[in-house]
Every structure is written in structure tokens, then in C-alpha cells.
Amino acid sequence: MLRQARRLLAVGCALALSGVAVAAAPARSAVHPDLSGFWILSMQPPTLAKTLTTKLPANTVVVDDTGPAELPIGDYGGLKVKAAALAEARKWKPQDEMTISRTCSPPSIVYAIQGPFPFEIYQTPELIVFKYEYFDQVRLIFMDGRGHPPADAPHSKTGHSIGRWDGDELVVDTTHLEPSTITNNGLNHSAGIHVVERYKRSADGKTLAATQWFEDPAVLDNNGARLIEWSSKPGSYVYPYDCDPSFALQYQAAPDAK
Amino acid sequence: MTKVKILAMLGVALLGQSAALAHHSFAAFFDPAKIVKVTGKVTEFGFKNPHGVIVLEVPGPGGQVQKWQAETNAPVVLQRRGWTRESIKPGETITIEGWASRDGKPYLRLRQAFHADGQPVGKLAFGQGDQ
């Protein structure tokens, strides 16, 4: 118990010092792959992540909007959207996002993790921490065998995540996600979405690949997935995001078209 | 229109270039095939996430001044490309180039900015893959 407490304390200390150097990460397991470090989105087509697609469940479409790519309005990347959710999605207007109450509201990890912002991983046997630059989001991946909390427990944009090792791959299961965008163009997931991510580090250590799979029967008739790869950049660290909602006021004050 | 150039560059000119995503949809707000280039005097430069903001006064024909506004990538991205909150100063004349707003407003998403002497602000244009 004392040993576990010390390890958790080590993670906390590392997070506190992360603005100085990622090298301050705590001691890691010698048994499992070491995923810790600073990771920045790769702009190359995924290769290692493609090898993980064989482990995706049936009836899954890979949504091709990872990184800078974006789906236009009305295009949901092959996701089969139920009628009610589709009707809601079609009501969406881009300007809806440009309000002081919305502009600093982060997307859930369903959309957020594939964007062109870096993150750090801190790893211990019992707990893995993902610290994202985008909106300063932090995820705790519990590796101690616990389950998810009751269904009516509070939801959030980062949800509740539990992890396990499948050989040299980290499998992360996430529930309790607050409704948020799936494709950044009006399609939202429900509070019942279930996300499973599978992470694998390349043999040379330079690449971290992942599949992000999700099911949301209240919204989708099929399942979705993304392929994501990041590159290692030792010595770098995420910057504070500190979102300022006054950007929305500046947008609203922009001159009108003539 | 002497200092406002609307450059409608299609397809090939933008191959390999893409605007880094921020919190709101680039595709919904901006035309990826229409580049706007404007020169004017800076009245405001904001350097806060989710986007930096540059406001210019652009002289038009007949002497009237038109206000133009640009949003930049998130300053966390700008910082990795050599920008600081002092990179652009109110009162200086700069040229900004970027993707035009779909709604026709004098508003753009910044691809690159240049000081009056032609030197680029920061190390690289945006949308070239490095973040």
C-alpha cells in the first residue's frame, strides 16, 4: 500500500514539474513497454496504426479526419447516424460555436485526441497519465484492475478510463463521457458512448500509434474508429493552453461583409 | 483595391498545405481555395488561446480605411514557430496572408505574416505540416 502511494506521489510530482522537462517522468515498469514522453502528431499517413486495425470489431468504419483533415458540413465520414441524431446534426451552424460560453468548451476525448496538439505520457504500473496541451486536458488511466463507476456517476469531457496490457499494446477503455462533438461539424455523441483505444510504440521508439474505436448505439448504427500516430520529441513539453473566451467577442466584433 | 489583393488560388497551389485545426472548424469557416493578402497598420495583436487575433487598418481607394481581422493558429502553435506576444506591434505596417472567410467578411485565417521590410513573422508559414 505504501509502495503504491509512493508511486502515485511520483506521478503527481512529475506532473508538477512537467513544465520544466519531460525527463522528470517517474520510474516505469520493466515488464511492459515504456510509452512515457512527449508525443506530437505525425503528419505522415499512418502505417503502424494500420496494423492495429485487424483488432477492430466488425461493423466499424475508419473516419478519415485525423490531424489537420476535416470533414465538411453534412459529411460524417461513413458513420451511420440514426435519424434523430442526424436531424440534430443538420441544425448545427458553425457560428453557434463562436460564443463566449462555447468557445472555450473543450471537445471530449472522442474528437480532441486526434488534433495537431501534443501530449505527454507519464507511466507507472498502477496509473498512466495523459496530459494534453489541447485545452489542458488530463486523463488518468487506472491500471490497478478497478472497473468503471456506476452508470449514473458524473460524466466529463475526459471520462473515466481503465487500462490493461495486451502483450506490448496498451488498451484503454473509457466511459462516462459528457456529450460532445464526434466530427466537429455538428454530429454529437451521447453520454453513453464507449471508447476503446489501443496504443503501440514502434520498435525504434520514435512512433506511438493508436486506434481509437467507439460505439454509441443511441447515435450510430455502426461503430467508428480513427488511426492516429505521434512522433517522439524528447525534451519537449506541453505548453499551458489557458483558453480565453474573449476570442468569441473579438470574432463577433469583426467587420461585416460589404 | 491597391493594397488588397484577392488571390484565388485553386488546387495545385495549396497541395501539401493544410490549416492546423483549432477548436472550431476551419472547413466550415474558411475557403481552403481562396487566399487573401492584405497590407495595413496594426491596431491590435492578441496572443491568447484558442486563437491569436490581428486587426489591421487597410487603406482603400478614395482614402477610406477598411478594418481587416485575422485569426491565427493557437498561440501554443505560434510559439513553436518562433512567435512571441511581441512579434507584432500595434502601429507597425504588416502584410497578412491567409484563407478567406466563407461569409465574405474582411476576415481571414492566417497562413503567414510579413513585416514591412518583407521579413516573415516567425519561422514558417502555417499549414506546412510542422506544428
Instruction: Please check whether residue A248 lies inside any domain of the structure.
Output: yes
Query: Which set of grid coordinates corresponds to residue A200?
Result: 503501440
Measured CA to CA, the distance from residue A153 to residue A83 in angstroms comes to: 28
Beta strands in A1-56 (DSSP E): 37-41
- Given a contact cutoff of 8 angstroms between Cβ atoms, the answer to whether A174 and A109 are in contact is yes
pLDDT for the residue numbered B4: 44
| Smallest Cα distance from A166 to chain B, Å | 32
Q: How far is CA B96 from each of CA B78, B119, B126, rounded to the nearest angstrom?
A: 15, 12, 12
Chain A residues with CB under 8 Å of B72 CB are none
Domain region containing A241: 2-252
* B122 close contact with A: CB closer than 8 A: no
For strand A223-232 and strand A60-62, is the pairing parallel, antiparallel, or unpaired?
A: parallel
Q: A15 pLDDT exceeds 70?
A: no
pLDDT for the residue numbered B3: 41
Measured CA to CA, the distance from residue B76 to residue B57 in angstroms comes to: 26
Chain A residues with CB under 8 Å of B71 CB are 247, 251
Instruction: Please check whether residue A194 lies inside any domain of the structure.
Output: yes
Measured CA to CA, the distance from residue B16 to residue B35 in angstroms comes to: 15
The helix/strand/coil state of A180 is coil
Instruction: Please check whether residue A257 lies inside any domain of the structure.
Output: no
* B18 close contact with A: CB closer than 8 A: yes
Q: What is the ipTM of this complex?
A: 0.82
The number of folded domains in chain A is 1
Q: Which of A109, A212, A65 is nearest to B28 (CA)?
A: A65
Phi, psi of A206 (to 5 degrees): -85, -15
User: How many CB pairs (< 8 A) connect A and B?
Assistant: 99
pLDDT for the residue numbered A156: 98
Domains of chain B: 4-115 (2.40.50.140)
Instruction: Please check whether residue A258 lies inside any domain of the structure.
Output: no
Q: Which residues pair with B53 in a beta bridge?
A: B46, B71
Q: Which segment of A28-42, A139-153, A214-228, B71-85 scores lowest on mean pLDDT?
A: A28-42
pLDDT over 70 for what percent of chain B? 79
Instruction: Please check whether residue A14 lies inside any domain of the structure.
Output: yes
Look over chain A and give the mean of its residue pLDDT values, rounded to a whole number: 90
pLDDT for the residue numbered B54: 97
Instruction: Please check whether residue A75 lies inside any domain of the structure.
Output: yes
Measured CA to CA, the distance from residue A104 to residue A158 in angstroms comes to: 15
- Given a contact cutoff of 8 angstroms between Cβ atoms, the answer to whether B72 and B42 are in contact is no
> What confidence tier does A27 reach under pLDDT thresholds 50, 70, 90?
very low
Q: Which of A13, A38, A35 is nearest to A26 (CA)?
A: A13
